[in-house]
Chains A and B, each alone.
Chain A
Amino acid sequence: MSGTNRPRRGWGARLVILIPALWLAVFFAVPFLIVLKISLSQSAIAQPPYTPVLDLAAGWQGLKDWAAGLSLESYALLASDSLYVSSYLRSLQIAALSTAILLLIGYPIAYGIARAPRRMQAVLVMAIVLPFLTAFLIRIYALVTILQREGLLNDALLALSLVREPLVWLSTDTAIVIGIVYSYLPFMVLPLYASLEKMDDTLLEAAADLGCPWWKAFWLVTVPLSAPGIVAGALLCFIPIVGEFVIPDLLGGSDALMIGQTLWTEFFSNKDWPAASALAVALLAILLVPIMIYQHIQMRALEHR
């Protein structure tokens, strides 16, 4: 809007664009190019642990040497070892399952908040956000205490005689999903609430007046109208969950890894930087389409207001 009002941009306005743009270009965009480059290198026992190293001081010859040394070795490794492929599939599977559960749990909560009296809504939203602000790592740690064999969940289940003997929770996929749902719930509830809160209740009344049962009205009116919130919430959860490291590392078992853990292990334990970079590039390739859809939604929300 202001762009059309004031087409001429002074140096001040240019600086306002330039400063954050430069920062993000240097610290977010350029690093990806480096990851791409190193994923095409070979691992070596050196510091840094990969070859070839681009030697710009050697000029054209240096560039040629570097290009000649590039290899697809790391990608060949990814494709050949079933460990990596299964790790990707497992991550996608856990992320999809968790996102579905988050939607099922988050929708009634967001709906409940949106129906609450105005005055209470701000308080309830704050109550949902507050745990997100208090230390993610600590909350996962809190779950470890609760889910372990002698933990409080088993104590409670035994006391209620729901089970005969303690169940194994920790180091299972169930624990990972519980941890993910627990950590990402605010990310699902907030976009859902934002779209449900804007909804015009008279539409539901009109449906009721015309003889539509409430469950049908919910399915035909409420759900389609909250679709932007559903998509935004699902993507906001699904994308980071695929690459999640802390939750599966602390709550999951050691036999099957999620892709974030595999990348972490390649980097920190095996010191194979090219392999870790190739894993990152492949992970990004899978997530590129969801990320672009997410950005498209964000941009559209910005323009349509």
Chain B
Amino acid sequence: MRRGLSAFNMTAVALGLAFLYLPIAILVIYSFNASRLVTVWGGWSTRWYVALWNDEAMLEAAWTSLRIAFLSATAATILGTLAAVVLVRSGRFFGRTAFSGLVYAPLVMPEVITGLSLLLLFVAIEADRGFWTVTMAHTTVTMCFVAVIVQSRLLSFDLSLEEAAMDLGCPPLRAFLTVTLPLIFPAVAAGWMLAFTLSLDDLVLASFTTGPGATTLPIRIYSEVRLGVKPEINAVSTVMIVVVAVGIIAATLISKRGVVAR
């Protein structure tokens, strides 16, 4: 195969990356701006981080969001991995088309529709809206992203390994947990990470399904942003970006080490 970057290809990729990263870089730099005016550079300062540290409501919202993201990502990873196993391994069964439809539809469904329908469900069953309803809403949508990621890994997985274990008398569940799961673990971990960040980031689903006392970080940020651009938002955004970036790099390193160890 002839590979290599022509000048045109290189320019396209470089411009694309610049387009994606420049706004984020500007956001991070301006979070250290001493000036209250977001567009005027007034020298370096960490005053907005101090202001953030003293903003109880913002910290409270961040803590709520982190807990929801952790719980929903964990539930979504379990459910999504099961769904992926069904899609790849279960062959034909009654309702297979409906099942795959249920897994793929939430990926593209506009969030306003999913959010509205979930809220109406919670109202119909008279559930108390708040922390748990948001967690369930996030689980429902993010499990489908996990399913797609794990599914692609399962497709390239050598089934004979698991069959060998079962031929040697290993029960199916144990064969899955001790043979398959460790081998598909990078995809499962990547799925968890994606579910976590999607949940941390979601405004629409959370706005529909939340109730009193459970304000998530995006809801909080959104209500501030609507009132105008504020330097403190740059600071909280930078913290979020750093947390997510560190998490992703750590996850990448862990899965790399797993490969090397084998």
Contact = CB atoms under 8 A, between A and B. Distances in A.
The answer to whether A and B come from one shared complex is yes
Interface of A: 1-4, 9-10, 12-13, 16-17, 19-21, 23-32, 34-35, 38, 48, 105, 108-109, 111-113, 115-118, 124, 126-128, 130-131, 133-139, 141-146, 148, 150-152, 155, 182, 185-186, 189, 201-202, 205, 235-236, 239-240, 242-246, 250, 260, 263-264, 267-268, 273, 276-277, 280, 283-284, 287, 291, 294-295, 298-299, 302, 305
Given A277-B120, A291-B108, A298-B104, A116 B13 contact: yes
B12 A144 contact: no
- Counting contact residues on chain B (CB < 8 A from A), the size range is 35 or more
Interface of B: 1-6, 8-10, 12-13, 16-17, 19-21, 23-24, 26-27, 30, 38-39, 79-80, 82-83, 85-93, 95, 97, 99-114, 116-118, 120-121, 123-124, 136-137, 139-140, 143-144, 147, 151, 155, 159, 172-173, 193-194, 197, 200-201, 203-204, 207-208, 218, 221-222, 225-226, 229, 233-234, 237, 240-241, 244-245, 248, 252
B26 A138 contact: no
A23 B86 contact: no
B189 to A, nearest CB: 14
Contacts, number: 270
Contacts of A280: 112-113, 116-117
Q: Is the interface of A mostly helix, strand, loop or mixed?
A: helix
Top 8 nearest A-B pairs by Cβ distance? A3-B91, A243-B110, A31-B117, A108-B12, A112-B9, A20-B83, A109-B16, A112-B13
A138 B172 contact: no
Contacts of A155: 39
B229 to A, nearest CB: 6
Q: Is the interface of B mostly helix, strand, loop or mixed?
A: helix
Nearest to B172: A12
B241 A115 contact: no
B136 A148 contact: no
A298 B88 CA distance: 12
Given A12-B172, A28-B105, A127-B17, A118 B117 contact: no
